[in-house]
Chains A and B, each alone.
Chain A
């Protein structure tokens, strides 16, 4: 089976940097994705790591260590609009349609 663990809540200050960690246990692995979801909104794709290392997209970066079954999402120069839930996710390698398995989500609250 597949399972992902991430903290339920993180609080940070506007303008600061925050890291959201994710550990996973999977019987097969394609890569780790991150999604952002604002309250009442749809999950929005942020990033995907198939290989070890850091991927940077603007203020957001994502890191993967396959040997440690661990990844993180790094958000820099935090803005109030970054307040949302962030989900790490994997594709089920045994799924014919590559269904997504989501972690339980980390609610990021940003203080002025």
Chain B
């Protein structure tokens, strides 16, 4: 069964450093998402991406964040200058379509720790 993959599974970085989190969505999907989950809290939407551009972003997704689809398979989230409060689990998700009944498939996540 097709699945969303993410690398790395864990990332430790120093405050102020740049990190790039990578995702390979399901191959025929058209909509891509990043979500974040701070330890012990709920999953929060960060950004959605469609047709090679951001379709929507949350208040969390400030100028420190960017997303890119550099080729036909990868979808990346870049944090330019990490802060302690960026420590969280980051999930990539993809879906074929949008709409109430359409399922978003989540990757296994990247656990980011900022020291």
Is the Cβ of B42 less than 8 Å from the Cβ of A87? yes
Chain B residue, CB-CB nearest to A98:
B98
Is the Cβ of B106 less than 8 Å from the Cβ of A43? yes
Chain A residue, CB-CB nearest to B102:
A98
Chain A residue, CB-CB nearest to B48:
A97
Whether A31 touches B91, Cβ cut-off 8 Å, given contacts A44-B106, A95-B56, A97-B48, is no
Is the Cβ of A99 less than 8 Å from the Cβ of B42? no
Kindly state the separation between the CA atoms of A96 and B99 in the bound complex, as whole angstroms.
9
Over the window 9-44 of chain A, the binary record of Cβ atoms lying under 8 Å from chain B Cβ atoms (1 yes, 0 no) is: 000000000000000000000110000010011111
Kindly state the separation between the CA atoms of A37 and B106 in the bound complex, as whole angstroms.
11
Chain A residue, CB-CB nearest to B91:
A42
Chain B residue, CB-CB nearest to A43:
B106
Give the residues in chain B near A99, CB-CB below 8 Å.
33, 45, 48, 56, 58
Is the Cβ of B91 less than 8 Å from the Cβ of A104? no
Is the Cβ of B48 less than 8 Å from the Cβ of A42? no
A-B contact pairs, 30 of them (CB 8 A): A30-B99, A31-B100, A37-B43, A40-B109, A40-B111, A42-B107, A42-B108, A42-B109, A45-B103, A48-B101, A87-B43, A91-B99, A93-B100, A95-B48, A96-B48, A96-B55, A97-B33, A97-B50, A98-B31, A98-B98, A98-B100, A99-B45, A99-B48, A99-B56, A99-B58, A100-B43, A101-B45, A102-B42, A102-B43, A104-B41
A: which residues have CB within 8 A of B?
30-31, 37, 40-45, 48, 50, 87, 91, 93, 95-105
